[in-house]
Amino acid sequence: MSSAKLNVAAIQQTCHSDKAASLATTERLVRQAVEQGAELVVLQELHATLYFCQTEDTEVYELAEPIPGPTSERLANLAKELGIVLVGSIFERRMNGVYHNTAVVFEKDGSIAGIYRKMHIPDDPGFYEKFYFTPGDANFNDGSSGFSPIETSVGKLGVLVCWDQWYPEAARLMALAGAEVLIYPTAIGWDITDDAGERERQLEAWVTVQRGHAVANNLPVIAPNRIGTEPDPSGNSDGIRFWGNSFICGPQGEFLARADDSSESILSVTFDRTRTESVRRIWPYLRDRRIDAYGDIIKRVRD
């Protein structure tokens, strides 16, 4: 790459039921990030709509779009106008009955550099994603399976999505395939009835596991999350309060920027591209891996 420095930004925003309103907010914040010097901008998971997975409702499939489609074209035009690499998120309609939670990476010329379809799909109260999303299987630009970085003009991006962030296997495979940064667009929050202690434990677990991926793979991490309280459309719960706390950390897990739990935020950071190599020379985890002893990792349960 031509420069040892890379200016990146993560966007933390509130979302709306109206796609146009959500995307207008997104565009405004992206433009501000570029004014601050960003060359790579990362948006949160499903940023064009409310988080609709609190209930199971077949009408919600009407929100899904093909790629290319209206939202991807709007984001592509934004990336081209501003001359940035942009990571967006789309509820993808791949074909009749097959829908994905998809991160789309747009190049500086507005072309699609690649897509990543969320691999790990949760199914928990308030997060009924298995009803909506088929697990991912391939990278859009080269057909490779599983966890493959997306090549861009600003480097190889290890794009994962939300629930993927709890799995060290996903981060490791991205690192082994040459990812230069791990990116986790996210939509995660508290059940409103959770007490303060439980909220703190959940938030710190979320932050800690991703910083752990940075440390274990000597890679920076960009993790944008949404904010705001979104009601349960069924009325069966009090809804979700998304906890924000978007952050960017370096290859030793050090915080470079962190947002609060309620404010619209642009996190702007300059990465030193040489740090991963420097850190790997003194903490050579990849050198010392015992690949001859890891065969059981592909078993569901080790007997």
Catalytic residues: 45, 118, 162
Quickly list DSSP for the chain: ---SEEEEEEEE-B--SSHHHHHHHHHHHHHHHHHTT-SEEEPPTTTTS--GGGS--GGGGGG-B-SSSHHHHHHHHHHHHHT-EEEEEEEEEEETTEEEEEEEEE-TTS-EEEEEE-----EETTEEGGGT-PPP-B-TTT--BSS-PEEETTEEEEE--GGGGG-HHHHHHHHHTT-SEEE-----EEETT--HHHHHHHHHHHHHHHHHHHHHHT--EEE---EEEE--TTSSS--EEEE---EEE-TTS-EEEE--SSS-EEEEEEEETTHHHHHHHHS-TTTT--GGG-GGGGSSS--
